[in-house]
Amino acid sequence: MKIIGFIFSVLVSGLILNSFYTSVHAHNFYQNHDSIFFTLVKQFEIEDTIASNNHDANKSNSFQHSENAASILKRIMLFNNTMASNANFVNTYKPIFDGLNITTKALIAANLADECLKEYGLAQGLNVTLATSLLNMTMSSGTGMKMGDNMTIPSGPTSQALNLSNKHSIGQANFETSAMIAKSLKILFLKSLKNATLEKSIGLMQISVEMKTESVKNLEQGIDSLTSAVNRKAPLLEVFSIVHGQIHPNLFLAYDLKLKGE
């Protein structure tokens, strides 16, 4: 009976994955107040850290990261003025972050993966519009660039962005941000996601604990692949496929994220 149950859970999980890959934007998860806010906090912390580390080695890049941090801080103040007005708000947020539920932490991880991809696109010479289009990927729908594993890049800005990448020298400041985000994503995974208690999903489409556990393993491999790809300055298409083909689907399966429809 256990074997039959396991086979059934695998089949159901396959149906769920198929629904994930059909007519939805892979990154477009339902967000909540905390997932948006703490993603901004993580981004600020990353830019502020890079600015400090680069202060003596590369003052130009350090200035760029300081400007980035200041811009993100303004967004944080608009989002939560009371918290941002505290000079030590990064330290203040840490215990609050630790108390977030696992789904919210997984949403933050998904957002960081998106930001890593966007910054890598900017490093490859894309403008902001094209780099942002990398986050809007449809799987197995319409015509476009075939990538394998049921993944199709729709014709339009996303395909254009990938075709234009690698036409310029790497932008160092954006590359540093992308690499640090990938590192931060791995730290978040190890501290908050890897050893989290997993429970069988409820509802019509149930995902077993066994399937979730396997997804966590695959997620770690995806995050490691992302870090490796960014650090060795791999083609943008490779980074793109890791985020949309490995990281997002496994976050979706393991931590009960909810997808928005088109």
pLDDT digits (tens), the chain, 262 positions: 444 444 434 444 444 444 444 433 445 899 999 999 999 999 999 999 999 887 666 778 888 999 999 999 999 888 877 765 565 777 788 889 999 999 999 999 999 999 999 999 999 999 999 999 888 765 443 344 444 445 555 556 566 666 655 555 688 999 999 999 999 999 999 999 999 999 888 766 678 999 999 999 999 999 999 999 999 999 999 999 999 999 999 999 999 998 886 4
pLDDT tens figures, 47-60? 999 998 876 667 78
Maximum CA extent, the chain: 65
Q: Does 248 reside within a domain?
A: yes
Q: Does 120 reside within a domain?
A: yes
Q: How far apart are CA 194 and CA 177, in angstroms?
A: 24
Token match 């604990």: residue? 209
Give the count of domains, the chain. 1
Token match 């992308």: residue? 178
Got the DSSP string for 228-243? HHHHTT--HHHHHHHI
Q: Does 184 reside within a domain?
A: yes
Q: Does 167 reside within a domain?
A: yes
Q: Does 233 reside within a domain?
A: yes
> Rg (Cα) of the chain, in Å, rounded?
19
164 within 8 A of 170, measured Cβ to Cβ: no
Report the residue count for the chain: 262
Q: Does 12 reside within a domain?
A: yes
Q: Does 78 reside within a domain?
A: no
Q: And the tokens for 193?
A: 């996601």
pLDDT tens figures, 209-256? 999 999 999 999 999 999 999 999 999 999 999 999 999 999 999 999
Range of the domain at 203: 2-30+101-254
Q: Does 159 reside within a domain?
A: yes
Q: How far apart are CA 241 and CA 105, in angstroms?
A: 22
Q: Is the dihedral of CA 25, 26, 27, 31 positive or negative?
A: positive
Q: Taking the model in full, what pTM does it have?
A: 0.82
Q: How far apart are CA 248 and CA 29, in angstroms?
A: 9
